[in-house]
Amino acid sequence: PPTVRLEDYRLSDHLIDRVELDVRLDPHDTRVTATLALRPNPAGRAAAPLVLDGDDLTLLALECDGQAVAPDAYRADASGLTLHRPPQRPFTLRIETRLDPTANTKLMGLYRSSGVYCTQCEADGFRRITYFLDRPDVLAVYTTRIEADRDSAPVLLGNGNPVEAGDVPGTGRHYAVWHDPLPKPAYLFALVGGRLDRVAKSFTTMEGRAVEIAVYVEPGKGDRAAYALDAVERSMAWDETAFGRAYDLDVFNVVAVSDFNMGAMENKGLNIFNDKFVLASPETATDADYAAIEAIIAHEYFHNWSGNRVTCRDWFQLCLKEGLTVFRDQEFSSDMRSRAVHRIAEVRNLRARQFVEDAGPLAHPVRPKQYAEINNFYTATVYEKGAEIVRMLRTLIGEPAFRAGMDRYFADNDGTAATVEDFLSAFEAVTGRDLSSFAEWYERPGTPRVAVSGTYDPAARTYRLAFRQTRPGAGADAPPLVIPVRVGLVGAEGPLDGATSGRVEAGVFVLEAAEDALTFENVADEPVPSPFRGFSAPVRVESPLDAAARLTLLRHDPDSFNRWEAAQRVALGLMAAQARGEASEDAGADAFVAALDAFLDTEALRDPAFAAQILTLPGEGELADEIGTDTDPDAIFSARQALRRRLGAGLRERLTRLRETLAEPAGAAFSPDAASAGRRALRNAALDLIAAADAEAGTALAQAQIEAATNMTDRLAGLATLALLPGEAREAALTAFAGRYADEPLVLDKWFAIQAMIPEDGTVTRIRRLQTHPAFAMTNPNRVRSLIGSFSLANPTQFNRPDGAGFDLLAEAVLAIDGANPQLAARLMTAFGPWRRLEPGRRAAAESVLRRIVATPALSRDVTDIATRSLA
Ligand code: HT7
Ligand code: ZN
């Protein structure tokens, strides 16, 4: 496929100031009339042809300034429209196209989801609605008239504010007109038409604007939209307080649909969501679901400023809106919940997804330099590492300067399409600092490593801490990164606050050279260093600390993140040794159990959510990442199981007591708040470990928990525990669960996922059977991700089976889906990412499946791109 390069960016030769769209919705024969107010771009090439993008369109009519365009003056086909000699002055183009929303299985452009008309235009879906300059730096003011059958589509929604609505007499049809006063790129266009229930509330902005917030959901599900509605209101209030950003329209609408390629979309004033991230009730949603709904509602709302008011010049700048908005939603969730626990969750996610991506063949810079298919660059690197860069910037310049820089960025770039350079220059302007070295973070793939080692001088009472940074694949001449290191020292009895270093300011040392060291004065005893507190930079830390020193951090570090990190490192060390066959004695595990016991004694009831994180071992993926090469997923699984068993046995009494103490009083009302969720998390972490050590007790406890459950978190945790314990009880519980939720597709997704993750030989067969289940559909992205995605991303032993049957299963699914929905197929393919780090047998099996996929005729650009990069 042709490659698009950042270095080839050129301004558009034409601009579009205003767009009037008339969309007559019909299941198979939708007519779109676009009236575009165009003009030559004074900064573009003079007398250039007008080249409009199109994708799968049929042109019905074309007029320029009210006159039909002569056939030899233009060329149009499904993929574009060229006007050879457009006027050299402002002109109006009227374009009529026809499309079939029901046949649109790609879920890009205008399509139908359970009968509801909806759109998805990012990144390049608007060209599937009309011919257009479908690029993010062409901003226009839109007025949209939507017309549809009144019975089947009583609700008609567009971007901006409602202007007018009425019947089309004698036709059974009606219409609504929407006007969006703020110029926007085409990727933010949206419309919805369908039968939907509405819940709403009003909000008054800090500027005194009355806003009607509404959430639209499938009929009968209005009571499940309350949490999302509340989250919108909290997001609006938070963005005012935290960033001084107010909402700018009279209405803010959220619509939930059941067929959606991603989580949600920030269309101006009309956010469209995967219903999984809107609908919640105690009976159907877990605490994790509530947290995800809150975060994604906030994320899309925050885009109103970071993305919509200030958009991206081109798709290479995607991190400008996505990384920044992830940072903003993470801050919001941290304020709504426990900051420490949220940071741990962010880092777990970063390591599980972004570090793995950065270490494999799909690694790319946060600002990529080229792409074959932009839809394949909505990645953990752009989103999560992009957010880490913004966080590092704040750590470097401090909170007040960060806020001033954000204000400056919004003020300077409002209503424009900006670049990463524009973002950084706002912070340079308010701080007077040169951020050109810091900008390097955007340019190169790979996770940096920082080696940290300390030397204590008892006579001088000084402690020297040396840092050395290296970057995978970077040559000796590669410039070093600017790395903020939040750092402190910890002694055997507690934090060593009296120890100071002139190079540590507000707790932060800035590592700017390849090697550097700082010296702490006034250090009474040999300390344990605590670098990268709060995970102050997205790096891999290499430190020679032994387990005893790390357990000192677990006990005494005032930084919660590094307490958790210490426990994770000890666990990783124990499991990695076992997986490599190096574990010779159990003393290390005994010390770890004792340290956890002591930790739980003082902390479990004070902060159950944090304690649950401490008890949750690093996943198999992280362990594979730690081992790095020639990994054997079975050995990794066994090592993790062994440590779970060990913890379960060693902590059995305490965990049993904790479960009793933390039990909800009978009849207590369910609340999804962070404290209640934390208590449930700790109870369920305890259940997991007890069951690992004692299958019989685990089975009984899990069955009792499912029986008594008043909410989905506890019911699902019980089922997940049973899923790891082969036998009658598991199958009976799975059958009962499926019966109870037969009419709840989003709950059945959990049921599909739990079975897809069973780490046993029979799972491939089980999945093949589940693919024929009446609730499963290859056309629905949520179903596919639940069954096939969970299998390939969260069941390492079975996906990476030595006989290749797991790879075959994924390949078959990818090829079955690709023709209909290439985006979905390509995302599934990313599970092959870590194939090169497998041991030789499995590696060969994966490679042969990848080669088979690449050789398949008529493969989409999306899948071709991922498969060829995976093999490169
Ligand atoms: N900005 C949105 C990205 C998105 C998307 C991209 C490609 C194809 C389908 C899509 N749906 C949504 C979502 C976000 O990050 O906010
Ligand atoms: Zn986003």
The pLDDT assigned to 584 comes to 65
Does residue 300 have its Cβ closer than 6 Å to ligand 1? Answer: yes
The pLDDT assigned to 495 comes to 94
Cα torsion 631, 635, 641, 643: sign: negative
Q: Which of 378, 384, 861, 865 is the best mutation target for the ligand 1 pocket, counting ligand atoms within 8 Å of the beta carbon and taking the most?
A: 378
The pLDDT assigned to 661 comes to 98
Does residue 375 have its Cβ closer than 6 Å to ligand 1? Answer: yes
Give the number of the atom of ligand 1 that is nearest the alpha carbon of residue 107: 9
Q: Which fold has domain 546-693?
A: Zincin-like fold (1.25.50)
Helices (H) and strands (E) in the chain, counts: 29, 33
With contact defined as beta carbons under 8 Å apart, do 159 and 178 qualify? yes
Give the H/E segment covering residue 158: strand 155-158
Does residue 261 have its Cβ closer than 6 Å to ligand 1? Answer: yes
Does residue 330 have its Cβ closer than 6 Å to ligand 1? Answer: no
Catalytic residue among 20, 122, 266, 300: 300
> What whole-number distance in Å separates Cα of residue 656 and Cα of residue 16?
66
How far apart are the CA of 357 and the centre of ligand 1, in A? Answer: 19
Q: Which of 262, 329, 373 is the best mutation target for the ligand 1 pocket, counting ligand atoms within 8 Å of the beta carbon and taking the most?
A: 262
Give the strand pairing for 251-257 and 210-217: parallel
Q: Which ligand is nearest to the CA of 274?
A: 1
pLDDT tens, 554-587? Answer: 999 999 999 999 999 999 999 999 999 987 667 7
Nearest residue (by CA) to ligand 1, atom 13, is 265
Closest CA to 611 of 692, 679, 674: 679
Q: Two tokens at 697?
A: 């007790």
Dihedrals φ, ψ of 181, to 5°? Answer: -75, -15
Give the number of the atom of ligand 1 that is nearest the alpha carbon of residue 261: 9
Give the number of the atom of ligand 1 that is nearest the alpha carbon of residue 303: 16
Conformational region of residue 549, where left means phi above 0, alpha means psi within -120 to 50, and beta covers everything else: alpha
Buried/exposed code over 47-57 (b: 16+ C-beta within 10 A; e: otherwise)? eeebbbbbbbb
How far apart are the CA of 273 and the centre of ligand 1, in A? Answer: 10
Nearest residue (by CA) to ligand 1, atom 6, is 122
User: Is this complex's ipTM strictly greater than 0.90?
Assistant: yes
Q: Which ligand is nearest to the CA of 324?
A: 2
* CB-count burial class (<10 Å; 0-12, 13-18, 19+) for 433: middle
Give the number of the atom of ligand 1 that is nearest the alpha carbon of residue 375: 7
How far apart are the CA of 267 and the centre of ligand 1, in A? Answer: 10
Give the strand pairing for 67-68 and 58-64: antiparallel
297 contact partners, CB below 8 Å, separation of at least 6: 228, 231, 232, 235, 254, 264, 273, 277, 278
Does residue 306 have its Cβ closer than 6 Å to ligand 1? Answer: no
Give the number of the atom of ligand 1 that is nearest the alpha carbon of residue 322: 15
Nearest residue (by CA) to ligand 1, atom 15, is 322
pLDDT tens, 25-80? Answer: 999 999 999 999 999 999 999 999 999 999 999 999 999 999 999 999 999 999 99
With contact defined as beta carbons under 8 Å apart, do 817 and 784 qualify? yes
Does residue 91 have its Cβ closer than 6 Å to ligand 1? Answer: no
- Which residues sit opposite 76 in a β-bridge? 81
Does residue 262 have its Cβ closer than 6 Å to ligand 1? Answer: yes
> What whole-number distance in Å separates Cα of residue 858 and Cα of residue 770?
28
Give percent helix, percent strand, percent coil of the chain, each to the nearest 5.
45, 20, 35
Does residue 562 have its Cβ closer than 6 Å to ligand 1? Answer: no
User: ∠336-782-670 over CA atoms, to 5°?
Assistant: 40
Q: Two tokens at 548?
A: 């005893």
Does residue 266 have its Cβ closer than 6 Å to ligand 1? Answer: yes
With contact defined as beta carbons under 8 Å apart, do 718 and 705 qualify? yes
With contact defined as beta carbons under 8 Å apart, do 592 and 571 qualify? yes
With contact defined as beta carbons under 8 Å apart, do 519 and 454 qualify? no
The pTM assigned to this predicted structure is 0.99
The pLDDT assigned to 1 comes to 63
> What whole-number distance in Å separates Cα of residue 205 and Cα of residue 192?
26
Give the H/E segment covering residue 52: strand 50-53
> What whole-number distance in Å separates Cα of residue 514 and Cα of residue 468?
6
> What whole-number distance in Å separates Cα of residue 80 and Cα of residue 58?
10
How far apart are the CA of 214 and the centre of ligand 2, in A? Answer: 20
Buried/exposed code over 725-749 (b: 16+ C-beta within 10 A; e: otherwise)? beeebbeebbeebbeebeebbbbbb
* CB-count burial class (<10 Å; 0-12, 13-18, 19+) for 153: buried
Buried/exposed code over 270-299 (b: 16+ C-beta within 10 A; e: otherwise)? bbbbbbbbbbbbbbbbbbebbbbbbbbbbb
Q: Give the chain's end-to-end CA distance (angstroms, integer).
A: 15
Does residue 329 have its Cβ closer than 6 Å to ligand 1? Answer: no
Task: Report the CATH number of the 1-195 domain.
Answer: 2.60.40.1730
How far apart are the CA of 351 and the centre of ligand 1, in A? Answer: 22
Nearest residue (by CA) to ligand 1, atom 12, is 265
> What whole-number distance in Å separates Cα of residue 689 and Cα of residue 674?
22
Does residue 328 have its Cβ closer than 6 Å to ligand 1? Answer: no
Does residue 388 have its Cβ closer than 6 Å to ligand 1? Answer: no
Does residue 299 have its Cβ closer than 6 Å to ligand 1? Answer: yes
Q: Which of 255, 261, 265 is the best mutation target for the ligand 1 pocket, counting ligand atoms within 8 Å of the beta carbon and taking the most?
A: 265
User: ∠752-755-756 over CA atoms, to 5°?
Assistant: 80
How far apart are the CA of 766 and the centre of ligand 1, in A? Answer: 32
Q: Which ligand is nearest to the CA of 326?
A: 2
Does residue 346 have its Cβ closer than 6 Å to ligand 1? Answer: no
Cα torsion 797, 803, 809, 810: sign: positive
How far apart are the CA of 263 and the centre of ligand 1, in A? Answer: 7
User: Which class does domain 310-442 fall in?
Assistant: mainly alpha
Cα atoms in the Cβ-side hemisphere of radius 13 Å centred on 122: 27
With contact defined as beta carbons under 8 Å apart, do 746 and 731 qualify? no
- Which residues sit opposite 175 in a β-bridge? 147, 166
Q: What is the residue type of 462?
A: T
- Which stretches in the chain have pLDDT values below 70? 1, 584-585
> What whole-number distance in Å separates Cα of residue 828 and Cα of residue 803?
20
835 contact partners, CB below 8 Å, separation of at least 6: 360, 842, 843, 846, 847, 850, 870
Nearest residue (by CA) to ligand 1, atom 5, is 122
> What whole-number distance in Å separates Cα of residue 498 and Cα of residue 524?
9
Does residue 122 have its Cβ closer than 6 Å to ligand 1? Answer: yes
CATH 1.20.120.1200 correct for 449-537: no
Q: Cis omega (within 30 of 0) on the bond before 123?
A: yes
- Which residues sit opposite 519 in a β-bridge? 464
Give the number of the atom of ligand 1 that is nearest the alpha carbon of residue 823: 8
> What whole-number distance in Å separates Cα of residue 195 and Cα of residue 116?
7
How far apart are the CA of 321 and the centre of ligand 2, in A? Answer: 7
Does residue 322 have its Cβ closer than 6 Å to ligand 1? Answer: yes
> What whole-number distance in Å separates Cα of residue 76 and Cα of residue 71?
9
Q: Two tokens at 408?
A: 């400056």
Closest CA to 253 of 313, 292, 199: 199
> What whole-number distance in Å separates Cα of residue 573 and Cα of residue 109?
49
Q: Two tokens at 85?
A: 């000699």
How far apart are the CA of 35 and the centre of ligand 1, in A? Answer: 27
How far apart are the CA of 187 and the centre of ligand 1, in A? Answer: 10
How far apart are the CA of 384 and the centre of ligand 1, in A? Answer: 14
Cα atoms in the Cβ-side hemisphere of radius 13 Å centred on 779: 14
Q: Two tokens at 702?
A: 């899990």
Q: Which of 110, 120, 121, 122 is the best mutation target for the ligand 1 pocket, counting ligand atoms within 8 Å of the beta carbon and taking the most?
A: 122
Nearest residue (by CA) to ligand 1, atom 10, is 262
Q: Two tokens at 637?
A: 């699984």
CATH 1.25.50.10 correct for 741-872: yes
pLDDT tens, 139-148? Answer: 999 999 999 9
Does residue 358 have its Cβ closer than 6 Å to ligand 1? Answer: no
Beta strand spans in 195-263 (E): 197-204, 210-217, 251-257
With contact defined as beta carbons under 8 Å apart, do 272 and 118 qualify? yes
With contact defined as beta carbons under 8 Å apart, do 384 and 376 qualify? no
DSSP 775: T
**Fold agreement (310-442, 741-872):** no
The pLDDT assigned to 391 comes to 99
How far apart are the CA of 662 and the centre of ligand 1, in A? Answer: 39
The pLDDT assigned to 587 comes to 77
How far, in Å, are 184, 420, 759 from residue 312 at the CA level? 11, 9, 43
**Residue 847 catalytic?**
no
Q: Two tokens at 52?
A: 């409009």
Give the residue extent of every domain in the chain.
1-195, 310-442, 449-537, 546-693, 741-872
- Mean of all residue pLDDT scores within the chain: 98
> What whole-number distance in Å separates Cα of residue 3 and Cα of residue 702?
53
- The label of the residue with tokens 């270490």 reads 359
